[in-house]
Amino acid sequence: MNSSHNNQTKINLPLSIAPMMDRTDRHYRYFLRQITRRTLLYTEMITAQAILHGDRPKLLDFSAVEKPLVLQIGGDNPTLLAECAKIGADWGYDGINLNVGCPSPRVQNGNFGACLMTQPELVATAVEAMQKAVKIPVTVKHRIGVDECDRYKDMVNFVRIVSEAGCTNFSVHARKAWLQGLSPKENRDVPPLRYQDVYRLKQDFPHLWIEINGGITTIEQTQVHLKSVDAVMIGRAAYDRPYLFATVDRDIFAEDAIAKSRAEIVEGMLPYIDYWLGKGIRLNSITRHMLQLFAEQPGTKAWKRYITEKACLSGADSLVVSAALARVKSV
């Protein structure tokens, strides 16, 4: 088995957690790894300019336990994107993903994200340049359409052109993006979901790895989608109800795995919290990602209230988290 096939296998997984700005940072990813070992994880989107000119260790460092892990990059300059892909590969990431889905205005202004769907030749050139620079997979995350360019045949044309440049993995958010008139938040809810278009894409491109994203909130829904596509990517539900992933290593990845309790997950985070506090990180930069662990459970209000009130105080340490857990257990 050649190394490129091995590398592809690392990220060709049936379930992933979407890249989410201000959410999927290294602390959230470490927290998720206490819940699921197998699910593919992504960084937040990092722009090519930030990678080239910013604080790389702060932007790119991760813990080995976070792997398999994909770096998502935003940009439109093939030369710069290739340079960033090389940096990401050298940093140890398992794959590089190009963002062709984000509808944020600040993304449009930089001519990347969802607006690139109308420029498939440019995306193809970028992907080709990135692939030449690295031995790890280069993938694309995109919408089913953008503004008036939202017919099924428009998406087919985009995928055909980009796949002919060598891209084999496409993560498809099953909504179109309105770049004018809708906020990024509205773009996650207002455009209707068109799952059948993504299913059809898999039928029309059976040789490609097609992942579906958008509005998926349960493992049962995930299992239904997996009958029609290769993989499922979950976004907001992974943040709002992280314990949703407690059984996926068993139910999706068919591992003989026993789900940890929520209390065990909290206790698994305590040494990590102490380590980072020793490095000068504030407690709430880690615990903010843990607030929803007890979502829909008795004690969730006590957990969130105690951590929210105490984690931002000067000198707050892991004892705050232990005390919050004790309050949950006493409910």
**Known catalytic membership, residue 115:** no
Question: Active-site residue among 102, 149, 167, 312?
Answer: 102
SS3 of the chain: the string is CCHHHHHHHHHCCCEEECCCCCCCCHHHHHHHHCCCCCCEEEEEEEEHHHHHHCCHHHHHCCCHHHCCEEEEEECCCHHHHHHHHHHHHHHCCCEEEEEECCCCHHHHHCCCHHHHHHCHHHHHHHHHHHHHHCCCCEEEEEEEEECCECCHHHHHHHHHHHHHCCCCEEEEEEEEECCCCCCHHHHCCCCCCCHHHHHHHHHHCCCCEEEEECCCCCHHHHHHHCCCCCEEEECHHHHHCHHHHHHHHHHCCCCCCCCCCHHHHHHHHHHHHHHHHHCCCCCHHHHHHHCCCCCCCCCHHHHHHHHHHHCCCCCCCHHHHHHHHHHHHHC
Q: Which residues are catalytic?
A: 102
